[in-house]
Amino acid sequence: MASRRGSREDKRRRIVDAAVHVFAEKGFFGARVSEIAEAAGVADGTIYLYFKSKDDILISLFEEKMAEIIKQLQEILATLDDPEAKMRRYIVEHLKLVAGQPHLMQVLTVELRQSARFIKEYSPKAFAKYLAVIGNILEEGQKKGIFRRDLDPSVFRRALFGAIDEISLEWVLRGPGGTLPDPVVVGETIGDFILRGLRAEP
């Protein structure tokens, strides 16, 4: 029973990973379910045992990949005590992900916006959790008296994400072969700028 469950989970993971590459290469609109099946090494009909539609594949891909990203990020941040260091690291890790996994980030930053269902009907819980990481760092810094207490976490987290998302989009649009700046250097530069506005008055 366990081996059968493991086989199903492995097959589902292969489909999701294949979808990342097919969506990145063909675009969401241009990609066909049959192409995802071929890339995953499964029959076309097998896809529908796991997903209802191409939109469903995209949404599942988003949730599962974001969950992995959040888990890794939280593990990294848990090793740090200083809220300023956590804020810098959050920015750097986001940009390192863009530079290191261009196909995945193309899907997450570009192709998701091509799905009408995702934009209109879906409540992206994983994205809310990702933004909450920023808000939690801010609130921690506020409680310790390091960051300004007049900042609204709900506003700040979207403002910060918007800044790094714009850079991410520009990098993704260069394509996998494009030459990118050092994500650590860029992340530190953004961190310096952001922290100047965050710090509480002495």
Within a domain: 67: yes
Query: What tokens does 191 get?
Result: 């961190």
Within a domain: 188: yes
Within a domain: 42: no
Within a domain: 78: yes
- Mean pLDDT over 97-102 rounds to 91
- Mean pLDDT over 5-12 rounds to 76
pLDDT of 109 > 90? The answer is: no
DSSP the chain: -HHHHHHHHHHHHHHHHHHHHHHHHH-TTT--HHHHHHHHTS-HHHHHHH-SSHHHHHHHHHHHHHHHHHHHHHHHHTT---HHHHHHHHHHHHHHHHHH-HHHHHHHHTGGGG-HHHHHT---HHHHHHHHHHHHHHHHHHHTTSB-TT--HHHHHHHHHHHHHHHHHHHHTT-TTS----HHHHHHHHHHHHHHHHBPP-
Query: What tokens does 26 get?
Result: 């063909």
Categorize the per-residue pLDDT at 118 as very low, low, confident or very high, splitting at 50, 70 and 90: low
| Amino acid identity, position 27 | G
Within a domain: 127: yes
Q: How many domains does the chain have?
A: 1
How far apart are the C-alpha atoms of 32 and 108, rounded to whole Å?
Answer: 18
Beta bridge partners of 199: 147
Of the CA atoms within 13 Å of residue 127, those in its CB half-sphere come to 16
The pLDDT, as a whole number, for residue 19 is: 96
Range(s) of the domain holding residue 162? 61-198
**What are 155-187's pLDDT values in tens digits?**
999 999 999 999 998 998 886 666 888 999 999
Within a domain: 68: yes
With a pLDDT cut of 70, the percent of the chain lying above it is 89
Within a domain: 139: yes
With a pLDDT cut of 90, the percent of the chain lying above it is 66
The pLDDT, as a whole number, for residue 2 is: 45
* Residue 151 belongs to domain with CATH number: 1.10.357.10
Contact 63, 125 (CB under 8 A): yes
Within a domain: 20: no
